[in-house]
């Protein structure tokens, strides 16, 4: 079946014709692109078109698609059984690798980033005996009720601020502060320090586009919650094993860490971890309930271990950072040459091309981007065979499978696409 046929059938089956909202391409005025196969840095749609891929399944595919070691590990694991509902050696192996690389004393596997953050909040509330959670505007931590308040990712993409169906009482348990705003955090803790269970944060925000943390913000996160008896939850679902092998290192004293994406090698995964006594509050050792039929699934564990093996071996991170730097420089040159009101922000192999002149420091700034121009740019890049996430607010993910030639191709496409998408040179627009 071709693209049109699949879309047509999907529309009748799934809301928006998709299983996750951003995939609908709504914010860029397009239609979902059904992918039938992928290899390395490329994906292929049902019409047989090839695209150079920077979506990377929204982050997990740091090694590219269908990496041979992961495919082989999966085949081997599948032949031994696809689920046991029991402890298995694959869990122990991946758990040991993750704890060794991150310094987490204990951890639990779950099936998604959402489950990891949801459990971390429950644990933090139980451990502190307090109810209030602080999150930052534009950070996305999955779709648990209490975290769908001024979240990034699809919520930002679709221009929503919250979700319907979240009880007011649940939303009231989440305070939302601006990212990178130390004085807002100080004021909050001055007024509500004794009621605050936890602060949850993306060490580098990746869901309002890539927004880097200021040093002062990181320092405040390391000190203020602790001084007030609150728990810091580092949401490293994107950044963990993406910026380097292990955690980002930006919040070394976080009490709980959430992981996902890269650690599952492209299969559904999440994890949370922390100190022994805190993690020991989870059932069955402690009173905080959490469970999962398919948690620690042997296929996921095998893919995750194969991925971490490949990442540990050699200079994978140096290579993707170098490729991403090349891309950053090329895009910045294209922006200058085209006199476009845009800027490029990069953190490791995460990148954003924001259609605003200055890198945003928070969600208010990120949301002032010219999303119409982004939509035209996105279309123009697709026309040139480059697949970007269909949202201004999702990062571009560079993978080990990209080559220098791929980056050159992308930069050439961007030169043309910026010209095509831009309403006109900045100077011209100002005069006009
Ligand atoms: N936290 C962060 C920082 C994320 O980027 C995401 C997903 N993009 C999540 C949590 C939720 O993960 P999942 O989609 O696997 O539930």
Q: Does any ligand 1 atom lie closer than 6 A to the CB of residue 112?
A: yes
Q: What is the CATH number of the domain that holds 366?
A: 3.90.1150.10
- Res 150: pLDDT: 82
- The answer to whether residue 427 sits within a structural domain is no
Task: Give the residue whose CA is nearest to atom 12 of ligand 1.
Answer: 113
- The answer to whether residue 426 sits within a structural domain is no
Alpha-carbon distance 200 to 364, whole Å? 19
- The answer to whether residue 338 sits within a structural domain is yes
Same domain, 34 and 166: no
Tokens coding 330: 């090329």
Q: Is 235 a catalytic residue?
A: yes
Alpha-carbon distance 35 to 53, whole Å? 11
Alpha-carbon distance 302 to 309, whole Å? 11
Cis peptide before 284 (omega within 30 of 0): yes
**6-30: pLDDT as tens digits:** 999 999 999 999 999 999 999 999 9
Q: What is the CATH number of the domain that holds 277?
A: 3.40.640.10
Tokens coding 11: 């529309």
Same domain, 177 and 249: yes
- The answer to whether residue 429 sits within a structural domain is no
In DSSP notation, 303-361 reads HHHHHHHHHHSSSHHHHHHHHHHHHHHHHHHHHHHHT-S-EEEEETTEEEEESSSS--S
Same domain, 237 and 275: yes
Same domain, 319 and 286: no
Percentage with pLDDT > 70 across the chain: 97
Nearest to 17 by CA among 28, 30, 29, 31: 31
- Of 45, 53, 181, 235, which one is the catalytic site residue? 235
- Res 266: pLDDT: 98
Phi-psi region of 75 (alpha: psi -120 to 50; beta: other; left: phi over 0): alpha
- Res 425: pLDDT: 53
Alpha-carbon distance 16 to 400, whole Å? 32
**117-162: pLDDT as tens digits:** 999 999 999 999 999 999 999 999 999 999 998 887 777 777 777 8
Nearest to 148 by CA among 117, 119, 179: 117
Tokens coding 208: 């309002």
Same domain, 107 and 197: yes
Same domain, 53 and 75: no
Which segment of 149-153, 162-166, 187-191, 242-246 scores lowest on mean pLDDT? 149-153
pLDDT averaged over the chain? Answer: 95
Same domain, 173 and 221: yes
- Res 429: pLDDT: 43
- The answer to whether residue 406 sits within a structural domain is yes
- Res 431: pLDDT: 36
Mean pLDDT of 188-215: 98
Q: Is 140 a catalytic residue?
A: yes
- The answer to whether residue 428 sits within a structural domain is no
Q: What is the DSSP letter of 282?
A: B
Alpha-carbon distance 366 to 361, whole Å? 7
Position 426 pLDDT exceeds 60: no
- Res 144: pLDDT: 95
Same domain, 321 and 306: no
- Res 430: pLDDT: 40
Mean pLDDT of 187-210: 98
- What 3-state class would DSSP assign to 211? strand
Sheet containing 256-260: give its strands across: 106-110, 270-274, 256-260, 231-235, 196-201, 132-136, 174-177
- Of 51, 54, 58, 140, which one is the catalytic site residue? 140
The angle, 0 to 180 degrees and rounded to 10, between the axes of the packed helices 404-421 and 316-338 is: 30
Tell which atom from ligand 1 comes closest to the C-alpha of 58: 8
Find the domain containing 43 and state its range: 3-66+314-421
* Boundary residue ending a domain (311, 344, 377): 311
Same domain, 37 and 162: no
Our separate counts of H helices and E strands in the chain read 15, 14
* Boundary residue ending a domain (311, 339, 363): 311
Same domain, 47 and 72: no
Same domain, 100 and 180: yes
Mean pLDDT of 301-321: 95
Q: Does any ligand 1 atom lie closer than 6 A to the CB of residue 111?
A: no
**31-72: pLDDT as tens digits:** 999 999 999 999 999 999 999 999 999 999 999 999 999 999
Q: Does any ligand 1 atom lie closer than 6 A to the CB of residue 153?
A: yes
Q: Does any ligand 1 atom lie closer than 6 A to the CB of residue 136?
A: no
Which segment of 151-155, 223-227, 389-393 scores lowest on mean pLDDT? 151-155
Same domain, 365 and 285: no
- Res 424: pLDDT: 62
- The answer to whether residue 430 sits within a structural domain is no
- The answer to whether residue 431 sits within a structural domain is no
* Boundary residue ending a domain (292, 311, 330): 311
How many domains are contained in the chain?
2
């Amino acid at each position: 079946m071709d693209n049109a046929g699949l879309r047509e059938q999907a529309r009748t089956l799934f809301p928006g014709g998709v299983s996750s909202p951003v995939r609908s391409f709504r914010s860029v005025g397009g239609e979902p692109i059904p992918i039938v196969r992928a290899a390395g840095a490329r994906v292929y749609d049902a019409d047989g078109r090839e695209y150079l891929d920077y979506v990377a399944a929204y982050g997990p595919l740091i090694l590219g698609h269908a990496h041979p070691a992961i495919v082989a590990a999966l085949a081997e694991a599948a032949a031994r059984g696809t689920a046991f509902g029991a402890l298995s050696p694959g869990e122990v192996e991946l758990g040991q690798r993750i704890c060794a690389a991150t310094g987490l004393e204990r951890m639990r596997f779950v099936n998604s980033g959402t489950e990891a953050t949801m459990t971390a909040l429950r644990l933090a509330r139980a451990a502190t005996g307090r109810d209030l959670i602080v999150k930052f505007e534009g950070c996305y931590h999955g779709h648990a009720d209490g975290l769908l308040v001024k979240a990034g990712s699809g919520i930002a993409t679709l221009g929503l601020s919250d979700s319907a169906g979240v009880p007011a009482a649940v939303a009231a348990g989440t305070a939302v502060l601006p990212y990178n705003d130390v004085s807002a955090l100080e004021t909050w803790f001055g007024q509500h320090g004794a009621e605050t269970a936890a602060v949850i944060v993306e060490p580098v925000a990746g869901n309002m586009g890539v927004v880097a943390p200021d040093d002062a913000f990181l320092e405040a996160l390391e000190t203020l919650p602790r001084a007030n008896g609150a728990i810091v939850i580092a949401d490293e679902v994107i950044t963990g094993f993406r910026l380097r092998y292990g955690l980002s290192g930006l919040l070394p004293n976080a009490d709980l860490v959430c992981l996902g994406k890269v650690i599952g090698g492209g299969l559904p995964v999440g994890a949370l971890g922390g100190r022994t006594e805190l993690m020991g509050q989870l059932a069955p050792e402690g009173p905080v309930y959490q469970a999962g039929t398919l948690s620690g699934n042997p296929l996921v564990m095998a893919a995750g271990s194969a991925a971490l093996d490949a990442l540990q071996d050699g200079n994978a991170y140096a290579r993707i950072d170098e490729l991403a730097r090349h891309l950053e420089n090329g895009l910045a040159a294209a922006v200058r040459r085209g006199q476009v009101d845009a800027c490029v922000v990069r953190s490791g192999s995460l990148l954003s091309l924001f259609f605003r002149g200055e890198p945003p420091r928070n969600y208010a700034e990120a949301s002032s981007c010219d999303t119409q121009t982004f939509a035209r740019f996105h279309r123009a890049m697709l026309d040139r065979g480059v697949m970007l996430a269909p949202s201004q607010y999702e990062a571009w993910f560079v993978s080990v499978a990209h080559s220098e030639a791929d980056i050159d191709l992308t930069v050439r496409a961007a030169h043309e696409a910026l010209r095509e998408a831009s309403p006109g040179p900045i100077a011209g627009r100002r005069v006009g």
